Amino acid sequence: MKTDVLIVGGGPAGAASALFLKRQGIDSLIVEAEDFPRYHIGESMTGAAGQLLRDLGLEGEMTRLRFPVKCGVKVFGKSSAGNWFVPVRGRGADGNMFDAETWQVRRSEFDKMLLDKALDGGATLIHGKATRPVIRDGVVKGAHVSMRGGGQLTIESEMLLDCSGQSTWLANLGGVTGPKYVGAYDKQIAVFSHVRGAIRDSGTARDERKDNTLIFYKEKYHWAWFIPIDDETVSVGVVAPSSLLPKGESLHSYLTRELPELHPELKRRLPVLDLVEEVRAIPNYSYQVRDFCGKGFICIGDAHRFVDPIFSFGLSAALREAEFAASVVRDWLGGKNRDEANPFAAYQLFCEKGTDVLEDLLDTFWEHPFAFSVCVHNKYRDLLTDTFAGRVYEHEHQPNVAIRDFRRLLGREEERELSYLNGSAYSIPIGSRYHPERAPLWEATPGESQAA
């Protein structure tokens, strides 16, 4: 079987890639291992993610599916003096800001809707699991697929997009991408479920709207989320250093014990703990893959990098990288940059710089919480509202002066500049302060397949 573009993974990165490629007149074939609808974590969107969905013409679908409207994120600190709110705001072409909205989503429904739209637009879906890439003369030329109903299929492609999420399909196989490194929040675990019967806010001010994201801060690296995903259901999760999860305690017991203990404002909102979804956990979610683009392939979204879930940037990065990839894929298919060592080096650097902005915001939140809240409240209110909204790329005037101040505070301004200047495109500090040896999770060894 042959296709111009093969997309591995039909989640948001994969489905959005197909939709944006279609706008360039390019058809694609998506290989997805799971049956949709399927559960997935990642339910709160940034303003930029919401805007991208509007740009795709999906506002009507989002409304039809009755996804809750989010006006901002409210953070509850250790005391009420530490509470703050960041509204969702857009920025017009004239540079002025305006109140905007985005959505919270039940991922099973949202991901299915997006994939269905991609299929309506002409993409083809293959139910199966990509096992190995096809590589010829150092160029990725497709993938071998283990079909859901049994049997093997080889799909030849001019371009492969790895949108496989946290399973980081290509990086795990070794030899195609660079190595995968642990990220700063690798020693964390998230434990989560859905509840009914939670008390929602009910005010009319933007920071009191019933469907906003709420974050509860207990200690450094120890927090909880509260994300309404429909009129009755709220997604709740606790994130903590993995060492705090008692050995032998079940996830269910841990979550139901932690939720009422973590913060009085959270306890007040959960008078009963009626869990209506399996309790799941994701440990070690923070990583970065070097050289995630190359001849015939690009990794998009979680397939190459995830930092920290606290401010809901995952979907935003996945969707926006999918958008940016469409034109460079079109150029490649048109024969451009074929002789370059990395035909997608500029795209790669562009995406890395965007996520570096997020990483610097997140690291400053954890490392310098007081300075961070002063900047959010007063010093750089609008500039940080931009960043929280997911406007983190160069053409969105990033890194702005707030992010550059954060870099100075973190002592990494020079390192960032150097890494960009020498074109390495790698985030610093890769492997993070928790891993001073900066050892990759595994080194890419051509032809060798390694487990995660």
Please, which of residues 42-81 interact with ligand FAD by CB under 6 A? 42-45
Beta-bridged to residue 32, according to DSSP, are 127
Minimum separation from the CB atom of position 403 to ligand FAD (A): 20
Q: Are 171 and 182 in contact (CB under 8 A)?
A: no
Classify 423 in phi/psi space as left (phi over 0), alpha (psi -120 to 50) or beta. left
Please, which of residues 199-258 interact with ligand FAD by CB under 6 A? none
Q: Determine, following the binding rule CB under 6 A, whether residue 8 of this chain makes contact with ligand FAD.
A: yes
- Residue 68 neighbours by CB under 8 Å, 6+ apart: 103, 104, 210, 211, 228, 229, 230, 231
Using CB under 6 A, which of the segments 58-66, 161-169, 338-346, 366-374 binds ligand FAD? 161-169
Count CA atoms within 13 Å of residue 206 on its CB side.
15
CA angle, residues 16, 20, 22, in degrees to nearest 5: 115
What token pair was written down for 304?
Answer: 């190459």
Minimum separation from the CB atom of position 378 to ligand FAD (A): 27
Minimum separation from the CB atom of position 314 to ligand FAD (A): 2
- The size of the interface with ligand FAD (CB under 6 A), counted in residues, is 38
Q: Determine, following the binding rule CB under 6 A, whether residue 32 of this chain makes contact with ligand FAD.
A: yes
**Which is nearer to ligand FAD, 164 or 419 (by Cβ)?**
164
Minimum separation from the CB atom of position 107 to ligand FAD (A): 7
Strands 280-283 and 213-219 turn out to be unpaired
What is the rounded CA–CA span in Å between residue 357 and residue 47? 16
Residue 215 Cα distances to 75, 331, 337, angstroms = 5, 42, 45
Q: Determine, following the binding rule CB under 6 A, whether residue 441 of this chain makes contact with ligand FAD.
A: no
Question: How many helices (H) and strands (E) are present in the chain, helices listed first?
Answer: 13, 23
Q: Determine, following the binding rule CB under 6 A, whether residue 34 of this chain makes contact with ligand FAD.
A: yes
Beta-bridged to residue 99, according to DSSP, are 89
Minimum separation from the CB atom of position 197 to ligand FAD (A): 21
Q: Determine, following the binding rule CB under 6 A, whether residue 428 of this chain makes contact with ligand FAD.
A: no
**Which is nearer to ligand FAD, 211 or 413 (by Cβ)?**
211
**Which is nearer to ligand FAD, 167 or 337 (by Cβ)?**
167
Q: Contact with ligand FAD (CB under 6 A): which of 41, 245, 275, 346?
A: 41
Quick check: helix, strand or coil at residue 189? strand
What token pair was written down for 395?
Answer: 């053409």
Give the containing element (helix H, strand E) for 294: strand 293-294
Q: Determine, following the binding rule CB under 6 A, whether residue 142 of this chain makes contact with ligand FAD.
A: no
Q: Contact with ligand FAD (CB under 6 A): which of 106, 129, 218, 269?
A: 129
Q: Contact with ligand FAD (CB under 6 A): which of 6, 18, 33, 53?
A: 33
Q: Determine, following the binding rule CB under 6 A, whether residue 167 of this chain makes contact with ligand FAD.
A: yes
Which one-letter amino acid corresponds to residue 156?
E
Put the strands of the sheet holding 287-289 in their side by side order. 305-306, 287-289, 180-182, 440-442
Q: Contact with ligand FAD (CB under 6 A): which of 86, 140, 155, 190?
A: 190
Q: Which residues here bind ligand FAD, judged by CB under 6 A?
A: 8-14, 31-34, 40-45, 129-130, 163-167, 169, 190, 282, 285, 301-303, 306, 309, 312, 314-316, 318
